Structure 1
Amino acid sequence: MQFCDECGSMMHADGDEMVCKSCGARVPKDKEAAKSFVSTEKQTFDDVIETSEEASDEGKPTANEECKKCGHDRAWYTIKQTGSADEPPTRFFKCMECGHRWRGYS
């Protein structure tokens, strides 16, 4: 990220120049600084774990939790902070046998 020397706003690339979005100031790109910029063009999502209802559960952690619906003793789970930061997170379980879902509070 590069900031404007005139007004302090964030600048964006325009060819070989950096342009201020606020005041329109233009400066040549610093070729050395550009090497340290991070681009998200090559970002992949292969390490994202899906948590929607229809998402695959492969790769999610499992726990020894008994399903109240079928009695199976293993379930996948995800953890989410549903309350304020000073409260413990909520664990959401999904039975590995029948797919029944429930919450677990710490």
Structure 2
Amino acid sequence: MEFCDECGSMMQTEDGVWICTQCGFEQARDAEQEAEMVTTQAQEESEIIESGGGTSGLPTTSADCPSCDNDEAYWYMQQIRAADESETRFFVCTECEHKWREDDH
């Protein structure tokens, strides 16, 4: 994707040149620069690596499970409200995998 140096709009390719969709500014295409661009197709084809074992990659802490009275849980933070609100901490029991939020108690 290329943006116009004159007005900042997105440009399209046509006959070996970039053409601005708004002001008509033209710029020669650079094959080396375009080869370095990441396309959406390349993003879709990228390999996704998953850790083996569900929540085992999460950090653990001391927390009393309300379901089985285990005293250790995995935890993670997630933004579930507006961006100007604080994140919510979630816990997952290391024994029974019961999931709860920090403010559930």
Q: Pick the TM interval, shorter chain.
A: 0.5 to 0.7
Q: How far 1:95 sits from its partner (Å)?
A: 0.7
Task: Give the alignment's Cα RMSD to 1 decimal.
Answer: 3.4
Distance in 2 (CA, whole Å) between partners of 1:81 and 1:44 is 26
Give the letter for the 1:96 counterpart: T
Bigger share in helix: 2
Q: Which amino acid aligns with 1:93?
A: F
CA gap 1:30/1:72 in 2 versus in 1, 3 angstroms: same
Aligned residue runs from structure 1 range 28-67, under 5 A:
28-31=28-31, 34=33, 37-40=36-39, 41=42, 43-46=46-49, 56-67=54-65
Quote how far apart the aligned CAs of 1:17 are. 2.6
**Deviation, structure 1 residue 15:** 6.9
TM-score, length of structure 2 as denominator length:
0.63
- Superposed structure 1 runs of 4+ greater than 6 Å apart: none
Aligned partner of residue 27 in structure 1, secondary structure: strand
Q: What's the CA shift for 1:45?
A: 3.6
- 1:65-104 superposed matches below 5 A: 65-104=63-102
Q: Counterpart of 1:99 in structure 2: which amino acid?
A: E
CA shift, 1:94, in A, is: 1.0
Distance in 2 (alpha carbons) for counterparts of 1:80 and 1:37:
33
Can you give the 5+ residue segments of structure 1 that lack an aligned partner in the other structure? Answer: 50-54
Partners in 2 of 1:64 and 1:15 — Cα distance?
A: 64
* Runs of 5+ unmatched residues, structure 2: none
Percent identity, please. Answer: 38
Size of the aligned set, in residue pairs, is 98
Secondary structure, aligned partner of 2:56 = coil
Secondary structure of 2:102's aligned partner: strand
Find the counterpart in structure 2 of residue 52 from structure 1: none
